[in-house]
Structure 1
Amino acid sequence: MADGSLGLPKIGEAAKVPVELLDFDENNPRFTPDKKPSGSSDSAVIAMLAASADLSELIQSISTSGYINIEPLIVIERDGRLAVLEGNRRLAAVKVLRDPELAKAARSTIPSMDADKAASLHELLVYRVGHEDDARDLIGFKHINGPQSWDAFAKARFAARWLGDEHKKRAAGQASMDLNQIASRMGDQHSTMHRMVAALYVLNQAEANDVYFIADRKRKSFSFSHLYTGLAYEEFTNYLGMPKTDRSADPSLEPVPSDKFSELRNLLTWLYGSKERDLEPAVKSQNPDLGRLREVLSSPTAVIVLAERNNLDEAIITATPVDVRFQRHLIGANAELQHALSTLEGFDPVGQPELQTIADSVVRKANIVKAQVDSAISGLRTE
């Protein structure tokens, strides 16, 4: 079963190997911008997996039952060692149970283990592949719609990496797949995967051209969905000068024209803020702010306000026509008065004389609005 002097299993075969030979996959798609280890050491990786992938339950399960070698880890040889392409959580749990120092990194207390259970942690069953694409069908399906689904950014990274390899095959004249076929193999909707990969390419282009860096975002969390959802709207793509989306073709690696890099920087800053410039994101939450940003992007004047002030509330006022604003305010005022009317029995005149002043002000304002509306409607009738 061994592969020469390295003592590794042969490609395409499964075998048990010492845990000491196994490394975490440094290219793990799970390591997204807000879930990225602070370094490449085992302790850094385990600390991140413990925080983002809930190792505690798995650690408890293995400590109780031992490590059961049913489903092999999927590994690939790198520099005479085995990198784990699939099964990093399981490897992390085993390493934690074997090493008290790593348990500290995971902020985990090592449960007591029977000797036979502890012995199961020395060697793990692995299946060795020669190339990453040999394992992609299983890994993709398991983490896209399977029991351990990745977040959207991890899915996009995985699919984009796969697509990149397919493009290399195509350039070499070999049979290859497009993104539609990859999405199907991963068990995902093509339209969703297309949007996510296209958004990833936008981010990659921004970083490659020093336009914007994800690491500069203001908040620790990274809401990738803000971008790939926004790019589904023509207001966003028009602002960036991007061509109309053609989901029958693979996304462009450089979707934003170079003369729109300033707009790209604006958009990513509005979505994610900037630590360097001490700017909070204008979009606080996807609902309703993404829709409000969409409305702003349809108004050149409102875009200028947002670029200068970084305030979505101010920009949306500029973007909204006066007649629409009046209608919204009048409907809102009527709704608030209805609420006040329904709770009128709760009014206590003792100690609240200022409410009479407020009520008088409401009446005056309502009369002015009513008079203006009546006058305008009367004017229409006489024309």
Structure 2
Amino acid sequence: MDLDAILPVGTSEKVPVGLLDFDVNNPRFTPDKEPASASDDDVVIQLARSADLAELVQSIATSGYINIEPLIVIERAGRFAVLEGNRRLAAVKVLRNDTLAQQAKLTLPPMEASKRATLGELLCYRVATEADARDLIGFKHINGPQGWDAFAKARFAARWLDEEHSKTDGMTIGDIASRMGDQHLTIHRMVTALFVLEQAQREDVYFLEDRKKKSFSFSHLYTALASEEFTSYLGMDRPDRTTDPARDPVPRDNFGELQNLLIWLYGSKDRDIAPVVKSQNPDLNRLREVLGSRMATRVLEERGSLDEAVVAATPMSLRFEEHMIAANAELQYALGALEGFDPKSQPEMIQIADSASKKARLIKTQVDSLAAEIEK
């Protein structure tokens, strides 16, 4: 088939849907959103789960497919692969195929014949290389109206950076960030974290498929690597936004620490270990505090308990202060509820009150003694 006759490079024309394939390298397919295979069925099923396909299907069924913004396509193996517009292509394929809609668990609304007639051909713009489409796709999905998640952004920028590195005078990550409208170089942190993950997988240190939860919080890692406690633990150089991220940022001698960190962040299905970071706030900050203490880090490595490690990381003076404030507050609550005490049905409370009184007197004696010594 002569694709040049159907759609020459650098032009926009309507193309039969039957010639359009999904982009299996779509950055949108992050570790927790990957299709089971590259087949149309599995791609559509995954997009229905993760890309709010139902809303778009409803819109197209109501108004028909409006050929205003072209899909961006490239020739692959004698067909057109859609670099930009996979979600729109999925919605159209669902509306054209009842069986596919059922597999994707999508309910198809009624559609008038005149609206259905718009589903046969879609406006496409053909590029010669993926690089020709990057500016438009990057702006739209990194800081534009249809933003990807952080992992997808990192993959997109990293692929671009790799291509630039193959050139004599290619762009830097700073240049790419600027082209994407990223004023704060957030992309630098994301790509650094992506390279850490890729190094872990390449060196058989940790595999994302082994994570305990199906969901994948990429932000845990790229946020962590902004703190010196984490980079020091991994033996990494501090990220320098004036230079491109290193492809192998973690020294080989620190692969054990890298495995520890990724298990703390994401757990291990094979080893039945839950992540210690349940949510970024406050657990990631608690982990940062632990890594700032050699003793607390050792506790976490050996015991696997973030709570125990946090205790070890907390100075004794602060722990005493926190416990005293908490104990005083609890005693105040107990005093307010004293009317509810029944000596007949709660005789054990007498022993507990006696024990609390003895502990309080002992603490008071020690506090007074230490205070007296300071005054001497």
Scaled by the length of structure 2, the TM-score of the pair is 0.94
Residue of 210, 216, 220 corresponding to 1:222: 216
The secondary structure found in structure 2 opposite 1:120 is helix
Worse-matched range after superposition: 268-277 or 360-369: 360-369
Q: Residue 204 of structure 2 corresponds to which residue in structure 1?
A: 210
What do residues 344-381 of structure 1 show as CA deviations (whole Å, max 9, x unaligned)?
38736485555454444333322222222121111111
Q: Residue 318 of structure 2 corresponds to which residue in structure 1?
A: 324
The 5-angstrom pairing of residues 354-373 of structure 1 reads 354-373=348-367
Q: Residue 66 of structure 1 corresponds to which residue in structure 2?
A: 64
What do residues 103-125 of structure 1 show as CA deviations (whole Å, max 9, x unaligned)?
01220121111111111000000
Contact 2:3 2:78 in 1 (8 A): no
Q: Residue 248 of structure 1 corresponds to which residue in structure 2?
A: 242
Does residue 282 of structure 1 match 2:287?
Answer: no
Worse-matched range after superposition: 101-110 or 220-229: 101-110
Shift of 1:244: 2.1
Q: Residue 347 of structure 1 corresponds to which residue in structure 2?
A: 340
Q: 1:366 to 1:189 in 2, by over 3 A?
A: farther
Q: Distance in 2 between matches of 1:293 and 1:5?
A: 55
Contact 2:234 2:254 in 1 (8 A): yes
The 5-angstrom pairing of residues 1-383 of structure 1 reads 4=2, 7-169=5-167, 173-174=168-169, 176-340=170-334, 343-344=336-337, 347=340, 349=342, 351-382=345-376
Shift of 1:265: 0.8
Shift of 1:315: 1.7
The secondary structure found in structure 2 opposite 1:194 is helix
Shift of 1:167: 1.0
Q: 1:331 to 1:192 in 2, by over 3 A?
A: farther
Q: Distance in 2 between matches of 1:96 and 1:258?
A: 48
Q: 1:82 to 1:346 in 2, by over 3 A?
A: farther
Q: What residue ranges of structure 2 are gaps of 5+ in the alignment? A: none
Q: Distance in 1 between matches of 2:166 and 2:359?
A: 69
What do residues 311-358 of structure 1 show as CA deviations (whole Å, max 9, x unaligned)?
1112222222322221222222233344455x5387364855554544
> Identity of paired residues, percent?
64
Q: 1:345 to 1:126 in 2, by over 3 A?
A: farther
Aligned length: 375
Q: Distance in 1 between matches of 2:330 and 2:182?
A: 45
Q: 1:125 to 1:209 in 2, by over 3 A?
A: same
Shift of 1:79: 0.7
What do residues 41-61 of structure 1 show as CA deviations (whole Å, max 9, x unaligned)?
111111111111111111001
Scaled by the length of structure 1, the TM-score of the pair is 0.93
What do residues 226-265 of structure 1 show as CA deviations (whole Å, max 9, x unaligned)?
1111111111101111112211111111111111111111
What do residues 177-221 of structure 1 show as CA deviations (whole Å, max 9, x unaligned)?
211121121122343211111000000111111111111111111
Q: Distance in 2 between matches of 1:321 and 1:32?
A: 41
Q: CA RMSD in A?
A: 1.9
Q: Distance in 2 between matches of 1:249 and 1:63?
A: 49
Contact 2:3 2:79 in 1 (8 A): no
Contact 2:192 2:246 in 1 (8 A): yes
- Give 1:153's aligned amino acid: F
Q: 1:51 to 1:363 in 2, by over 3 A?
A: same
